[in-house]
Amino acid sequence: MKPSQLQACLEEAHTFNAPCMIWGAPGIGKSQIVRQVAQENDMGIIDIRLSTYDPTDLKGIPAIVNGKAEWLNLSELPDVMRDGQEGILFLDEINAAPPATTAAAYRLVLDREIGNYKLPDGWTIVAAGNRESDKGITFKMPAPLANRFTHLELDVDFDDWIKWAFDKGVDHNLLSYIRYRPANLNNFDATQRAFPTPRMWEQVNKYVGISNHNTRRTMICGAVGEGVGTEFESFLKMAHQLPDPDMIIMDPENAKVPTDLSALYATVGALSVRASANNFDRILKYGDRLKKEFQVLLVRDSSKRQPDVANTRAFGEWAIKNTEILL
């Protein structure tokens, strides 16, 4: 399923206190989506990596209290007074934990209690892990534990990532490159140390502004791999050599229209960043000189970045002329 569907499922599961297990390749946003669900629903979140715990850690340590042995609970477990009435207990990388540790979690997942501890009513358990085929450090999930979860498998979705990139203000050149080479959004390769994933493109977004080209290229290649990193660096250099988008807006009828496909993506991305209600008529004059698919891309990206352009006369006239494309 795509990220937006996963988020909807997790929100519904929370209403039933239903424990869920998220499966997916490394770097595709499993942890981030869980945190986003908590943030957007004003809930707490506690992240416990079972791979770093011993079986006895979960149950607690025995102590003599009033002449009787009682279990002292793990302090990280949710506490209403400290962590709030509602939240998510996130057991990330659960299948990277040794079987003895996951066995200790059986009762916590199914019965919502362990030792003397009881999970608050408003808290839901969500776990996540990589698949065995992803070549990470994983243990086969025992059937008794697997049968305690609702299993949800996450896939990378291009449209959801584009929406996320807009919301997060990702550099328009990076966004344009992914539109140009969508296969490089997520290209998992367990044989390589570095490969492109949504998580690493988020990291690359921080490197785009590095002024020293050699340093920038080294950092980008170190994040997404030599081949993809070199291609993206070439894309950046090409984008910086294109006509100034502000000059295009000043003279849309005479400005040069690139013929190279990657240059078109870069140009549309640069114009969409600058779109406003005051200049959208001139941007669309230039857009009329582009192929239809790039016109649509220009209009959609501009309206996502600056919704006010949808209220302009130029947008209305373009929409009427292109009704069949928008339907």
Question: Could you tell me the two tokens for 294?
Answer: 């790039």
Write the pLDDT tens digit of every residue in 201-236: 999 999 998 989 899 999 999 999 999 999 999 999
Short-list 143, 141, 31, CA closest to 94 = 141
Token look-up 């502000």 returns 246
Please state, for a pLDDT cut of 70, what percent of the chain lies above it: 91
d(CA 221, CA 234): 12
**Distance of alpha carbon 303 from the chain centroid:** 22
Question: Could you tell me the two tokens for 173?
Answer: 């050149």
CB 181 within 8 A of CB 231: yes
CB 25 within 8 A of CB 188: yes
Short-list 281, 246, 286, CA closest to 264 = 286
Amino acid at the residue 228: V
d(CA 266, CA 301): 12
Short-list 1, 28, 37, CA closest to 153 = 1
Question: Could you give the angle at which helices 292-305 and 261-274 cross, rounded to 10 degrees?
Answer: 30
Total-model pTM = 0.79
**Residues paired with 69 in a beta bridge:** 64
d(CA 117, CA 75): 10
Exposed / middle / buried, residue 16 (Cβ in 10 Å: 0-12, 13-18, 19+): exposed
CB 49 within 8 A of CB 207: no
Phi, psi of 194 (to 5 degrees): -125, 135
Helix, coil or strand: residue 61? strand
Question: Could you tell me the two tokens for 271?
Answer: 């114009």
What would the DSSP string read from start to end of 69-91?
A: EEEEPPTTS--HHHH-SSEEEEE
**Distance of alpha carbon 97 from the chain centroid:** 24
| Average pLDDT of the segment spanning 246-262 | 90
Tell whether the model's pLDDT for residue 327 goes beyond 60.
no
Amino acid at the residue 165: A
Tell whether the model's pLDDT for residue 63 goes beyond 70.
no
| CA angle, residues 81, 82, 86, in degrees to nearest 5 | 75
Confidence category of residue 324, pLDDT binned at 50, 70, 90: confident
| Average pLDDT of the segment spanning 106-123 | 87
Instruction: Give the pLDDT confidence score for residue 70 in this predicted structure.
Output: 66
CB-side exposure of 156: number of CA atoms within 13 Å? 19
Instruction: Give the pLDDT confidence score for residue 326 in this predicted structure.
Output: 57
Write the pLDDT tens digit of every residue in 78-102: 999 999 999 999 998 888 877 877 8
